[in-house]
């Protein structure tokens, strides 16, 4: 790569950054000069969160103590924060409850969906490329409920749904390749056959429009520590469409989801609405850290985030083609915008060594063994200069590390 070509790409990056309406949001995050392209694993820290949490710990917990369940709004946090997330995934208020891990919420959603489906429907379609835990949970749920698992590529699901299908569990974006699955099409095909759609939004919420209500999704789950920047281990969330809430039968009924939680009665009677998705006492510190982090979304349109995400990933792929030695990396992320999430995955035979060296040189992505370099683009704080620098450093590393 000549100095002239490099100058052209750096100049183009500067032009794109100057025209970027979302660039002003970068200052809301605690960042250094590292190019951070792993926000699809752990989002960056919003700069105001430490001060907010200092108040939660010193005043709400330290001074008010038990009174904070009422006076600081701890008790209503799971649904209040759910309503903050709702616009980012295209849901009306009152359908999302925050709490527990993604795995726990997948279990709730899958078992509850089998109960909603009922009848002779005894098969669960599962995304064959799913994040492993989703597959583990679905298999366990199937053993418990007498269902059988049918692993399929999501593209094959519309043609595979039968009268025996209870539900399909699908990742909206493939965690390894960044492929965006057809949520509207798969959901419609399931509904046409009387089955339910359960979507995992971990790699799409906060990166692109989801449209849960518009597309009639039945249940959905997602984490909050990736594009939503909630912090390591931040609580996940469960979406139950309003039309299903009265019949939503959680496999994990707890005192927190009881209609009269402080009655402490031996019999269980489910609460109305989204609180049915609760189980036990919420993790308040992580919950309120997430609530503070969501402030960075104030005034941000998810459609604008999606537009920048596509522009960033397009530009990064263009720069990789220009900077990387021929034949050393191959993109496994779809080129078509309709099929792409907000990450780029590159296959590279020397991926472990390459990623380690990239990180040492200040470009942080991640590795999916054995041979995938994964770069996540979080449009609120990643710019076009970051994309150009990452591709340029990747080219340098590939030239320094021998092939094969």
Radius of gyration (C-alpha) of the chain in whole angstroms: 22
Half-sphere exposure of 197 (CA within 13 A, CB side): 27
Q: What is the DSSP string of 8-50?
A: HHHHHHHHHHHT-TTGGGGGGB---SSEE--TTTSPPPBTTHH
Catalytic, out of 374, 381, 384, 386: 374
* Helix 102-117 × helix 132-145 angle, to 10°: 40
* 330 known ligand binder: no
* 132 known ligand binder: yes
* 281 known ligand binder: yes
User: Closest Cα to residue 239, out of 92, 42, 137?
Assistant: 92
Strand order in the sheet with 372-376: 330-331, 343-347, 372-376, 366-368
Q: Which residues pair with 165 in a beta bridge?
A: 123
Catalytic, out of 175, 225, 227, 237: 225
Report d(CA 278, CA 228) in Å as an integer.
21
**Catalytic-residue membership of 374:** yes
Whether 35 contacts 362, CB under 8 Å: yes
* 131 known ligand binder: yes
* 225 known ligand binder: yes
Whether 133 contacts 236, CB under 8 Å: no
**Catalytic-residue membership of 239:** no
**Catalytic-residue membership of 131:** yes
* 333 known ligand binder: no
* CA triple 103-228-216, angle to 5 deg: 65
* 102 known ligand binder: yes
* 122 known ligand binder: no
* 133 known ligand binder: yes
Catalytic, out of 9, 29, 36, 131: 131
User: Closest Cα to residue 131, out of 214, 236, 229, 210?
Assistant: 236
Catalytic, out of 226, 276, 340, 392: 226
Q: Which residues pair with 169 in a beta bridge?
A: 126, 198
Q: CA torsion, points 7, 10, 15, 21, in degrees to nearest 10?
A: 180
Catalytic, out of 174, 200, 218, 283: 200
**Catalytic-residue membership of 227:** no
**Catalytic-residue membership of 175:** no
Report d(CA 106, CA 169) in Å as an integer.
9
* 83 known ligand binder: no
> In sequence order, what are the residues at sequence separation of 6 or more whose Cβ sits closer than 8 angstroms to the Cβ of residue 13?
315, 383, 384, 385, 387, 388
Whether 104 contacts 283, CB under 8 Å: no
* 251 known ligand binder: no
How many other CB atoms sit within 10 Å of the CB of residue 288?
Answer: 25
Report d(CA 80, CA 98) in Å as an integer.
9
Catalytic residue list: 131, 200, 225-226, 374
Tell me the binding residues: 102-103, 131-134, 200, 203, 225, 255, 281
Tell me the binding residues for pyridoxal 5'-phosphate: 102-103, 131-134, 200, 203, 225, 255, 281
């Amino acid at each position: 790569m000549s100095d002239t070509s490099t100058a052209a790409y750096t100049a183009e990056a500067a032009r794109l950054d100057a025209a970027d309406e979302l660039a002003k949001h970068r200052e809301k995050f605690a960042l250094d000069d590292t190019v951070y392209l792993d926000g699809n694993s752990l989002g960056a820290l919003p700069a105001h969160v430490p001060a907010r949490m200092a108040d939660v710990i010193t005043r709400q917990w330290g001074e008010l103590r038990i009174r904070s369940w009422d006076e600081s709004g701890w008790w209503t946090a799971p649904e209040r924060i759910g309503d903050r997330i709702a616009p980012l995934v295209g849901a009306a208020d009152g359908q999302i409850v925050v709490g527990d891990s993604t795995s726990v919420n997948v279990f709730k959603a899958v078992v509850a969906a089998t109960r909603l489906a009922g009848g002779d429907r005894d098969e669960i379609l599962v995304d064959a490329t799913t994040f492993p835990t989703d597959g583990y949970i679905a298999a366990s749920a199937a053993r418990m409920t007498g269902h059988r698992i049918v692993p399929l590529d999501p593209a094959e699901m519309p043609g595979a749904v039968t009268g025996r299908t209870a539900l399909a569990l699908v990742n909206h974006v493939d965690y390894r390749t960044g492929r965006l699955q057809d949520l509207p099409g798969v959901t419609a095909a399931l509904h046409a056959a009387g089955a339910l759609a359960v979507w995992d939004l971990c790699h799409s919420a906060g990166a692109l429009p989801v449209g849960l209500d518009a597309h009639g999704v039945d249940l959905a789950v997602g984490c909050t520590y990736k594009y939503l920047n909630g912090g390591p281990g931040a609580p996940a969330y469960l979406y139950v469409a309003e039309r299903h809430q009265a019949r939503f039968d959680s496999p994990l009924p707890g005192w927190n989801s009881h209609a009269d939680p402080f009655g402490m009665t031996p019999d269980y009677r489910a609460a109305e609405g989204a609180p049915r998705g609760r189980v036990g006492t919420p993790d308040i510190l992580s919950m309120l850290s997430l609530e503070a982090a969501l402030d960075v979304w104030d005034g941000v349109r998810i459609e604008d985030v999606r537009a920048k995400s596509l522009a960033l990933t397009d530009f990064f792929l263009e720069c990789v083609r220009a900077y990387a030695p021929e034949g050393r990396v191959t993109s496994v992320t779809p080129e078509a915008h309709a099929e792409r999430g907000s990450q780029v995955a590159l296959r590279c035979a020397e991926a472990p060594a390459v990623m380690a060296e990239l990180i040492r040189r200040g470009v942080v992505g991640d590795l999916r063994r054995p041979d995938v370099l994964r770069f996540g683009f979080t449009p609120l704080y990643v710019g076009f200069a970051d994309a150009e620098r990452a591709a340029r450093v990747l080219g340098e590393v590939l030239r320094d590390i021998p092939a094969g």
